Copies of this chain bind each other. A is one copy, B any other.
Amino acid sequence: MNPKSKTTAITGDPSSACSIEATLDVIGDRWSLLVLRSVFRGNHQFSTLQTELGIARNLLSSRLARLVENEVLTKVEYQRRPKRYEYRLTGKGADLSQALIALMNWGDRWYASGKAPTILTHRSCDAALEQVVVCTACGTDVGPTAISSRPGPGRRT
C-alpha cells in the first residue's frame, strides 16, 4: 500500500452538495445498481433478472417498483394473454450510463489488475472508449486535483 494523500474540491461547498444525495436517494443501494446494470446489459424480464442476480423475489420486486416509481425504469406490457411485463430504461435511466461506466472503470483499475473483463467500444468503430472530464474552454482532460468548483444557479441560500 502506498497511499497518496489528496484533496480535491469536486463536490463543492456543504450547502450545494444535494445532487449526489438526490442521486443516492434513488439508486444508492447495491441491489438497485446491480438491477440497473443487468437491465443495461439487456435483461428486461423479472425472471431473467432474478436468475442472473440471484436475488430474492421480494427484494427484486421492491427494487423494481422503486426504480419504476422514480421513472428510471418503465414497466411495459409485452404480452397480452397472459399479461407479461418487462422493464425498460427510460431516458432518465439510460442517462445513468456515465455513472455505471465510472463504477465499472474503477473496478477494472483496482480489482481486475488492470485487466478489464469487459471493454466498452464505439459501436461504429469497434475501438475502446474512454471516460474523461474535459474543460469546456480549453479542452484539457482534467484530472481530480485540477478540479475546482463554484456555486451554481441551483445553490440553496
Give me the interface of A with B, judged by CB distance under 8 Å.
Answer: 1-25, 28-30, 33-34, 37-38, 40-42, 44, 52, 71, 74, 76, 88-113, 115-138, 140, 142, 144-156
Contact = CB atoms under 8 A, between A and B. Distances in A.
Contact of A138 (B93, B116, B122): B122
B71 A92 contact: no
Interface of A is mostly: mixed
A90 to B, nearest CB: 3
A4 B94 contact: yes
Number of copies: 2
Contacts of A71: 1, 3
26 contacts: A6-B88, A6-B94, A9-B42, A11-B38, A11-B40, A12-B117, A13-B118, A16-B117, A16-B118, A17-B117, A17-B118, A18-B117, A20-B34, A21-B34, A23-B107, A95-B109, A95-B110, A96-B106, A98-B106, A117-B151, A120-B148, A122-B148, A127-B136, A129-B135, A131-B132, A131-B133
